Structure 1
């Protein structure tokens, strides 16, 4: 089967399923596994995907998503060419498992999908704790944007034993004011800035915000950097996001 992947998470899912040899191309943001993406053409990112070139490659299947506003027009253009698409738009961790299962089914390897899901579940045992420390994940630093109820990152926080103070908000994410953060001061702050390399995350950007010196995470130096590769991509590497969140949560008890 000839597969084109339009999102990095889908590229990683196909590879984790042991089907990387099916990939004939991917989007510019796909950067893992390094050896896999280095060997195939990259045809643009997000809304700038060069659809005509994708169609010219004559894929049997295009894996894409609706995680970026406007992706619908990319999907429509590919489907109009008569090419089969599989669209992912996960909100929860269970949705990620569902997408892995659907992709595995489409590739004709459903048993590998079931195995990968079982391995991920086993690697992320529930440490749920209603009294666990409050965790703020920052998707973006200015304004601070955090995941809310309809986000797999909230599921990861809770699974790792923490609480998301903004989990009651029925949305994928929300911007936060300083006042909102100070009203529910987090014990852990995880910088996971989308589109920024983890080497460029800076704790001082967080700690110098007006009034934040009183926030427990700042006061106790519990500001951690967790790459958006692990918290922002709905694929197999959320397991590493869980592990790093768990380590940060455990550190608050020391």
Structure 2
């Protein structure tokens, strides 16, 4: 249990490094593909051009998998990695996204591979094998998410469906945030990645979702210089002193954390979130991905905070 969270934290930092390094295939520049018709090809995203609609897609990342199915390309996906657990019908295999193996991927005979992280330089290895690769790195803003959905729709022949997903996300987010209560003082929160007290600041993607709900992040002061890449490890003392109004747990699955385990922590009894039973259990998967289900995450946050009088 304790080993899993540092691994996730390290993966998050690796993702941040990849974002800083950039990726050539990030912006749609080709002719939009008609929704689900197979038309619109050749289709281009950045430097990647596909001459025809891919019918054997391999996804090495939970978020790309969710996005592919969301835009209507699910039937074209023939294999996904071992961490891709949503939607349930995704063809899950033993392919690893953490330790990707080019030969194992190539054995699936893909005509497109979608990755989140370029671990083991998997992109270069697959390109050397003449296999097209699109990287959709961890988003830092919602605009990144919208662009990636559009890119995947373009390359898979489902541009119209992708546009519809983006429109619905924007409409749902607008509906969730339009009637937020006007507060003289913003509510504060602590977002927990693991019981080792790693958190995420406002500069991360997850931080931007909380900002939409009008919350203030207590972790920001612990990474003011950005040396932790937006993912500082807090101390018990820092959290208790900050006295957050809410504690959001993104370690309920991996580390079995819940309101009872938080209440049992030494020194936490006086924290406002504990005293007022404002400890919110999140779905680890939804809270760590940047696909269409971020709307569900925002809804949980808004619903929880709406119960506090303005």
TM-score (normalised: structure 2): 0.73
**CA 1:251–1:81 in structure 2 vs 1: closer, same or farther (change >3 Å)?**
same
User: Which structure: larger Rg?
Assistant: 2
CA RMSD of the aligned region, Å? 2.2
Total equivalences in the alignment: 245
C-alpha contact (below 8 Å) 1:145/1:174 kept by paired residues: yes
C-alpha contact (below 8 Å) 1:43/1:50 kept by paired residues: no
**1:1-254 alignment runs, 5 A limit:** 1=54, 2-34=56-88, 36-37=89-90, 40-66=91-117, 71-89=119-137, 90-125=139-174, 126=177, 131-141=185-195, 143-167=196-220, 169=223, 170=226, 171-193=229-251, 196=254, 200-253=256-309
Kindly state the Cα deviation for residue 17 of structure 1 after the two structures are TM-superposed: 0.7
Kindly state the Cα deviation for residue 233 of structure 1 after the two structures are TM-superposed: 1.0
Which one has more relative contact order, counting CA pairs under 8 Å at least 6 apart?
2
C-alpha contact (below 8 Å) 2:252/2:281 kept by paired residues: no
Q: Could you tell me which runs of 5 or more consecutive residues in structure 2 were left unpaired when the two chains were aligned.
A: 1-53
**CA 1:77–1:30 in structure 2 vs 1: closer, same or farther (change >3 Å)?**
same
The whole-number CA distance in structure 1 between the counterparts of 2:237 and 2:142 is 30
**CA 1:236–1:253 in structure 2 vs 1: closer, same or farther (change >3 Å)?**
same
Runs of 4 or more above 4 Å deviation: 127-130
**CA 1:194–1:17 in structure 2 vs 1: closer, same or farther (change >3 Å)?**
farther
C-alpha contact (below 8 Å) 1:28/1:43 kept by paired residues: yes
1:59-101 residue CA offsets vs partner (Å, 9 max, x unmatched): 12111112xxx72522332222221111122122222222112
C-alpha contact (below 8 Å) 1:157/1:242 kept by paired residues: yes
Kindly state the Cα deviation for residue 120 of structure 1 after the two structures are TM-superposed: 0.7
The whole-number CA distance in structure 2 between the counterparts of 1:26 and 1:154 is 28
**CA 1:62–1:134 in structure 2 vs 1: closer, same or farther (change >3 Å)?**
same
Kindly state the Cα deviation for residue 119 of structure 1 after the two structures are TM-superposed: 0.5
Kindly state the Cα deviation for residue 152 of structure 1 after the two structures are TM-superposed: 1.6
C-alpha contact (below 8 Å) 1:138/1:146 kept by paired residues: yes
C-alpha contact (below 8 Å) 1:194/1:232 kept by paired residues: no
**CA 1:62–1:117 in structure 2 vs 1: closer, same or farther (change >3 Å)?**
same
The whole-number CA distance in structure 2 between the counterparts of 1:195 and 1:7 is 18
Kindly state the Cα deviation for residue 41 of structure 1 after the two structures are TM-superposed: 5.0
